[in-house]
Amino acid sequence: MEIPNISDTLDKLRTENAAANSKSTGNALGNLSETYDNFLLLLTKQLQNQDPLSPMDTAEFTQQLVSFASVEQMIQSNDRLDQLISLQSSTNAYAAASFLGTEVAVASDEVMLTDGEARFDYTLDTNATKATLSIYNSNNQLVMLMEADRTVGNHKALWDGTDYFGNQLPDGEYRVAVAYEDSQGKSYTADVTTYGVVDGAEIVDGQVLLNIGTLRIPLDSVTRILKSAAEPPPAEDEAA
């Protein structure tokens, strides 16, 4: 029976390990254990069938053992890295709890209409000859169209939740878009910052999301922390 070369087997093992990075570490370690048994059997056979006049070089023998050990260390390192990522996500979740009840500024064009009011800013990088502010509902339907400020800089806006016919729209998620043109006819899109009070937090696929109403905002999208919700007044002391 032909005995395969150990170096080729180790190369194959490295390839399999790279593919296993997308799978669980537990499966990778299980496969490694099975492969290790095969490796020892293969090594024993190679020693038994080597040419007595030309035995295996000690350095090569040692290198094969070191190569296998490095694969095991690689898998265990991936396991530790997964644990660190999980721990970091938990730490971020605890940090997100401090945002509850706090008003934040978020780099996002999504706004939350609450009690018939939505506040946001938009920034023009250059003076414009014309500028429009559009608001879309959750179905991406245009519900409001108005002129925007045409001067360079940051501009604050407060939308009362009415459409272009004056009808009051229901509270919920909307999207803001500000488009403008300079004197050369070049078109731009303004950056938008929205505001809201954080009322929840969650972890989705390892990412911490803050909840502003039904909006789910990545933690790293928060640009400013403005203020905490007013604390309730202390209870009056009971009469002695």
User: DSSP states of 24-78 as a string?
Assistant: -HHHHHHHHHHHHHHHHHHHHHHHHTSBTTBPPPHHHHHHHHHHHHHHHHHHHHH
Tens digits of per-residue pLDDT, 93-104? Answer: 666 777 888 899
Q: Categorize the per-residue pLDDT at 4 as very low, low, confident or very high, splitting at 50, 70 and 90.
A: very low
C-alpha to C-alpha distances, 127 to 22, 44, 148, 197, nearest whole angstrom: 50, 79, 12, 32
Distance, C-alpha 150 to centroid of its chain: 35
* CATH of segment(s) 102-228: 2.60.40.4070
Binning pLDDT at 50, 70 and 90, where does residue 235 land?
very low
pLDDT band at 202 (very low <50, low <70, confident <90, very high): confident
Q: What does the block give as tokens for 149? A: 């400020």
Contact 188, 124 (CB under 8 A): yes
pLDDT tens, residue by residue, 44-75: 776 677 666 666 666 666 676 666 666 666 65
Residue 205 CA to residue 191 CA, distance in Å, equals 27
To the question of pTM greater than 0.85 for the whole model, the response is: no
Long-range Cβ pairs for the range 43-52 (8 Å, 24+)? 43/6, 45/3, 46/3, 46/6, 49/3
Q: Measure the CA–CA gap between 157 and 154, rounded to whole angstroms.
A: 10
pLDDT for 33: 57
pLDDT digits (tens, 9 = 90+) for 115-173: 999 999 999 999 999 999 999 999 999 999 999 999 999 999 999 999 988 999 999 99
Q: How far apart are CA 202 and CA 98, in angstroms?
A: 13
Q: Would you state the pLDDT for residue 100?
A: 85
Instruction: Provide the residue type at 166 as one letter.
Output: G
Tens digits of per-residue pLDDT, 68-107?
Answer: 666 666 656 666 666 555 555 566 666 677 788 889 999 9
Q: Is residue 205 scored above 50 in pLDDT?
A: yes
Provide the total of helices (H) and of strands (E) in the chain, helices listed first.
Answer: 3, 13
Domain ranges of the chain: 6-85, 102-228
Query: Which sign, positive or negative, has the C-alpha torsion 126, 132, 133, 135?
Result: negative
For 178-192, how does the pLDDT look when each residue is reduced to its tens digit (9 = 90+)? 999 999 999 999 999
Q: Which residue has the higher pLDDT, 41 or 229?
A: 41
Question: What is the pLDDT at residue 97?
Answer: 75
What is the pLDDT of the chain when averaged over all its residues? 77
> Could you tell me if 181 and 128 are in contact, meaning their C-beta atoms sit under 8 angstroms apart?
yes
Residue 166 backbone dihedrals phi, psi, to 5 degrees: 90, 5
Express as a percent the part of the chain with pLDDT over 70: 55
Residue 2 has pLDDT above 50, yes or no: no
